[in-house]
Chain A
Amino acid sequence: MNNVLKFKNKKTDVAAQDEIYNFAYLDENTKRMIRRALIKALCIPGYQVPFSSREMPMPYGWGTGGVQVTSSCLTTDDVIKVIDQGADDTTNAVSIRNFFKKTANIETTEKTSQASIIQTRHRIPEEKLKEKQILVYQVPIPEPLAFLEPRYQETKKMHALSEYGIMHVKLYEDITKNGHIETAYAYPVKTNDRYIMDPSPIPKFDNPKMNNNPAIQLFGAGREQRIYAIPPYTEVTSLDFEDYPFDPSKAPHKCSICGSNESFLDEIITDDDGNRSFICSDTNYCNQRMENN
């Protein structure tokens, strides 16, 4: 048996590698299981569907949930974009993009408008998404109530019975302690006026983008083994109080590269004196603006 393998490995072209990996890495039965979970999730926006998370060639906490969802959605015609905190060129984004190149041999891109599937960690692209695009979010902790109620049996009931009192208790405590709702990312939302959902650690600035979005939004948590979803044109509202309405704020600066006043910014310390500049977190958005000028 070993001889056969050695013989195969002598070939280095992509065709040989196709024989070792199934298309997009996961076997077809697993994809089927995940697709069933995705369909269920899309039918019940914001509801966490348990799924059987597989061993992936990257550790838990590095996007295994997102990768499994993406893998289950991929076809040979897809064009994939992978971003991490808005950037296409960070180590994780590059690794995952290469992973799909290797296991699925599909086209990749950095341009949001050209991608059919976008896998993201902790940001939503600035450019508006269109129908038929899929946005896959990487999710660390899917349960928005986990901080105050650690028992899964309890949170399951609370979701089932819409017992969301403690969610607002948390916001109340925030306002009491800080004078405003302090939560800056992973800001809880209500989906389709029913389930309360953790949108993954995206900045609250991005929350409005989730509302009524023409694209399909899928969420995968590999370690916690949960999938949830928002179908296109679904109402997504951020929790707030009447007199303390939700404020999707960002740093009050312009991007020092492209000059945009509207995009979410990363803060960069530029020298040892603590000087800082702000630049767009979404690298593709920033680049496009520079190209167009």
Chain B
Amino acid sequence: MKNQNVLVIGSGVAGMEASLVLADAGLKVHLVEKDSLIGGQTIKFEEVYPNMECATCMLAPKQQEVLQHDNITLYLLSEVKKTEGSLGEFKVQIEKKARYVSLINCIGCGACYDPCPVSLDNEFEEGMSQKKAIYVACPGALPNAPAIDPENCVRLNGKKKDCNACEEACGFDAIDFTEKDETVNLDVGAIIVATGFDQFDVSSLPEFGYGKHPNVYTAMEFERLYAQNGPTSGKLTLREDKPIKSAGIIHCMGREEKGYCSGVCCMYSMKFAHFIKDKAPEAKIHEFHTDLCIPGKSHQKFYDGLKNKIEFTRYEDIEVKGKNGNLEISYTNNGKKNSIKPDMVILSPAMVPSAGTENLAKILGISQDSMGFFSTQDQNLSPIDSEKEGIFVIGCAEGPKDIPESVSQAEAAAGRVLSFLQ
């Protein structure tokens, strides 16, 4: 392989790590991200298990490195549209959507948000807060510059052609309504796919009342609820702004439907219990699990530390009911029926392939496994090699896994690419 350019798709923790290792080696990395910010799902977490480290603190230096690295070209709001060729000589076409905000001129002061007349649900915050049509996903998002949502901006969607509220507020000449979507063609030697995961849609399981009862939360909603830079600035409350006195956390949402265990939900569910205990020590917390999947040298210690503070119940059957805003979890344990009435229910859903997986698999010419994740060739020989030489799949694009495993795979993909070049 002579071409020293590598395409990395996805800028989550895996994509960033692969990019950095390759860029440090002197290769030119083209990092494609479909969102307006980098960091993926991990930056949504206030703290990560088992050491309860602050995710922002550990990731921000990596994000800065990615943004400032001379060997990394970042394509935000971009997607891969076409690929052809093989190891050493891939041709790639990227569609880069207009941001309408110049990353060179913008200094991230935020003066443009307030004047914008459009308010929208902020999907980064799971719709729990509002954003403007010119927005950053959350405070501290990197790069620290907003983007304009062309579908909802009244100037760009034509509903109010003379609106220039943000342009007027900007002191840096950073807003450019004339920016156009671009097509970029690249020649690269290898491709690393790091497109992450989505959450299983729990509203497809009506017996858990998600979407019907306001105080039934998904795991990701709860992560943002707890986050200091989230919609409540880290204040743990019920939807009606009342403190949490009791909570039930239900594991394995979608495990049966999907046919696999996601490997991380037990641990993050226990992390939630730890969070609530931290902010509301009196709160009664009940974890409902099937098998506890807490593998590896340090995870069980986390469980042992919690065991006496919260209730763990192995369930065979479980459902959530609600009446007049009061929730009830009824469950069967060891053949016996029982129930509790918590203020809050948190559902821990399975990890599923990210939305664009099928399309990207077609574009790359690689296949998906029966669960919809990208399939890799041979788990033991090379767990990250796709069936096409020179295309690697890492992180949760390959299947559910935790952060350290994703990072290992990222470094491994970089290792495989660098081995080719030796």
- Say whether A and B bind each other: no
**Which A residues form the contact surface with B (CB < 8 A)?**
none
**Which B residues form the contact surface with A (CB < 8 A)?**
none
